[in-house]
Amino acid sequence: MAYTATKEEEAKELARRYKDLLKGTYQELSNKDKASIRKAFELAVEAHKPQRRKTGEPYIYHPIAVAKIVADEIGLGAISITAALLHDVVEDTDYTIEDIEQLFGETVARIVNGLTKISHLKKDDASVQAENYRKMLLTLNDDVRVILIKIADRYHNMQTLDAMPAHKQTRIASETLFIYAPLAHRLGLYTIKTELEDLGLKYTEPEVYYDIAKRIKDTKEQRDNYIDEFSSIIYKSLQDEKFDFEIKGRTKSIFSIRKKMLKQGVDFDEVYDKFAIRIIFKPQSHDEKHDAWKIYSIVTDHFTPNPIRLRDWMTQPKSTGYEALHTTVMGPKGKWVEVQIRSDRMNEIAEKGYAAHYKYKHGSEKETGLENWLNKIKDALENTEANAVDFVENVKLNLYSKEIYTFTPNGDIKSLPKGATPIDFAYAVHTDVGSKCRGAKVNGKIVPLSKELKSGDQVEIITSNGQKPKLAWLDYAVTSRARSKIKNALKEEQKKLGEEGKEILHRKLKTLKVKFNEKTINELVNFFKLKTSLDLFYRIGNGSISNTDLKNYANQRSNSFTALFKGKRRKKTDPENHTNEVTQKFDLLVFGKDEETLPYINAKCCNPIPGDKVFGFITINEGIKVHRVDCPNAVSLRANYGYRTLKAKWIDSTQREFKINIMVSGIDNVGIVNDVTLVISNAMNVNIQRINIDSEDGYFEGHIRVSVKNIEQLNKLISSLKSIDGVMKVEREKESKK
C-alpha cells in the first residue's frame, strides 16, 4: 500500500513518536538528559529533512525507531539514545564528527564515529562480511555501545525489509544471520536475537518460514489450552506459599523450531518441545535462589521431572549474564514441558541483557561472564595476522556454543564451550600452561588431549618445560584463545626451523658444489613450486625436502634450466627479508580421523578446490564425492545420510605426519629406557605416540610408535637408535597399527 500522509499528519506522527520514545525509556532520565536528547532529535530532524525511506516515509522515523529500541528493548541511557538519533547524520548529511563532538561531547562523537565506520564497509560476500564483523568488534576497544546501537539499527532495518528489492533482502538477511543474531545472543539480547533469526529465515527461506508460522498459528488454541491446563495445576500451590508470580507460556521461535527439525530429522508435529512455560516471581526473601528452588519443588510435587534436563543457571550464570533455573517435566497427557523459573531481576537480565546486568551490578562484584567475554574478544583482536574469515570462525565458535563448567584441582571454575578439550582448558588457565601442556588428568585419570570435557569435570594439566605446541592440537582445540595461541607458537617455531634450515641448506649446497646466493634460492623456490624463501628454508629444516630432492635439483641445473631464469624477469625474493608466514600448499585431501588418502571425485554442484572446507559423501555408484561444507546440498546430505558422510580436509603434505612402529631390542643396561626416549625426543620433529619396553634376564625388547614426516626422518631416527650402547637391533615393523 502506497504511503500517502500529508505534511501535517507527518508532523503530528513525528511528535507522537518522540513522546513515545521519552515515555518508553528503561532508565530514568534527568532534565539534562532530556535536553541532550531533544537537541539530538532536532538536529536529526533538520539534517534528514530532505530524505525519505524506501517506504516513502520521512527518513527521521528510522533514527527515532532505533533510539526507541536502544532506550526500551536494550535499556541503554541518554548517551546511547542521543547517539542512536544521530547515528546516520554523519554518514548521510553534511554534518561532520567534529560538529557532533562540539555539540554533544567526545563520548557521543566517538560512538557515532564507530557507527559511521561500520556503515562505510561494503557487504557483498562472505569474506567482506567477515571483515565487517571484525571491524565492528574492533569498536569494543572504544565502546561496546557502538555494537549495541548497530544491532538496534539492523533490527529496525529487518523489521522494514519488505520495501527492499528481493536480492537485497536475501543479502541483508544472510548477513543478519551470519553476524548480528550471534552478537545479539552473546550480548544477552535474547528477544532481539530471536526476532533477528526469525526475520532472517523469513527472507532467506520464505517458504519454510511461512509454513512453520502457519502451523504455529493453526495450533495456537490447542497450545493455549494446554498451557492453561498445566498452569492451573500449580497455580494454587504457588499462591498457598504466598508467592507473587506470573505464569507465561512462550512458543519457541520459528527459527529454533526449524533448527530442531533439521537437527533431529523430524517434521513439525514431531518436535515435542515447541513451547516453554515461564514462572516469573518477586523474591519473598533476600535469597532468590532459595525461592527459585522452592518453586521448583512445588512444580515437581505435581509433575515428574526429567533428571538429565535440569539446568541451574543461577549458581553459575551463562557468559551472556543469563540466570534462571530450567527443568523439563512430564506434563498432562504425557507431554514433556520445559519450565523456566526466574525472579523478576533474572527476567529483566534475560530480556535486556547488557543494560539490565549493569543496573543490578554492585560495586565490588567480580567480573561477570559478559565482561570476561568482552575481554576474550579484545584478546582475540590482538591476533591481527589471522585473515578475516578465520577470525570470524574462531570468534563464532564461542558465540552460539553451549557452555560447560569445569574445575581446576584447586576448585576454581572454568567456563568453556561445549566440545572443549584439555588443550582449551590449559589455555584458559594460562598461555604458558597451554604451551607446555604434555598431558591431562580428568577426574584423576590420564586422558588423551583430544578428549571432550563434560560439565563437572576436574582437570589437571601436566606440563613440561620441554613441551611445545603441536600442529595436531589445532584438530581438537575449540576456543579461539587456544587456537590463536597455538597458531602464533607454530609460526614462531616455523621461523626458528626456517633459520636452521637456511644453515642446513648452505652446507648441503656446498657439498653439491652449488653456490648459496639469491639466484640459487630463487631457482630452488621455483623448482619446488613454493612461494617464498621461508617456505624453502622451513621445508629443508623439517626434512620435507630431502638430500635426494636437492640432488635432483642439482642434476637438472643445466644451461637451459638456468637460461630459463635468466630470460625471465621475476619478483626479487630476498632470503634475508622474507615474509613471516609459511605458505600453505593444500595439495593433499585426507579423510577420516586417521587422515587416509582415498580415491574421490569432486561434486559438480559446488566444485570444491584445494583449501576449501569440505566433507566426503559415500555415493552408491560413484565412490566418494567431495562437497564444500557450504554447498547447497550439504544440509540435506548431512541431515538425511549422516552415516554416509566422511570428515575430510585439505592439508599441506609437507606438514603431514605418519605413524610408524619401530621394534628395538638389545642388552638391558641401566637407564636404557631413558636413553631410547632421549634420542627420540631429540630427533628433529619426531613425537612419541606410544612406548612399551619389556625386560627379562638381561635382554630387552621395545615397541615404539612415533610420528615422522618422511622416510629421511625415519632413517635418521633408526640410525640414532642403533648408536645407543646396548641396542643390538632396530627395525621398522611391517604392520602400522592404527
**Residues annotated catalytic, as ranges:** 91-92
Write down the residue that cell numbers 571484525 correspond to. Answer: 134
Alpha helices in 343-455 (DSSP H): 344-352, 354-360, 369-381, 388-396, 422-429, 431-435
* Matching residue, cell 631457482: 523
Q: Write the DSSP assignment of 581-612 as a string of letters.
A: SPPP---EEEETTTTB----EE-TTT---TTS
Query: Helix or strand or coil: residue 618?
Result: strand
Q: What does each C-alpha distance from 508 to 547, 655, 714 come to in angstroms?
A: 8, 22, 19
* Kind of pairing between the strands at 275-282 and 244-251: antiparallel
Question: DSSP string spanning 427-485?
Answer: HHH-HHHHHTEEEEEETTEEE-TTPPP-TT-BEEEEE-TT----GGGGGT--SHHHHHH
Identify whether the C-beta of residue 76 lies closer than 8 Å to the C-beta of residue 144.
no
Question: 112: closest CA among 142, 151, 84, 152?
Answer: 84
Task: Look at residue 405 and give its three-state secondary structure.
Answer: strand
Place of cell 605416540: 689
Pairwise CA distance, residues 275 & 337, whole Å: 8
How far CA 31 is from CA of 34, 76, 80, 353, in Å, comes to 5, 17, 16, 26
Cell readout for 626 is 567431495
Q: Pick the closest to residue 318 from 443, 404, 426, 212 (CA basis).
A: 404
* CA neighbor of 477 nearest in space, from 466, 489, 465: 489
With CA atoms as reference, report the closest residue to 157 among 127, 215, 200, 96: 200
* C-alpha grid cell, residue 685: 620433529
CA torsion angle 572 575 579 584 (round to 10): 90
Phi and psi of 676, rounded to 5°?
-65, -50
- Coil/strand/helix, residue 30: coil
Given a contact cutoff of 8 angstroms between Cβ atoms, the answer to whether 684 and 716 are in contact is yes
d(C-alpha 116, C-alpha 153), whole Å: 12
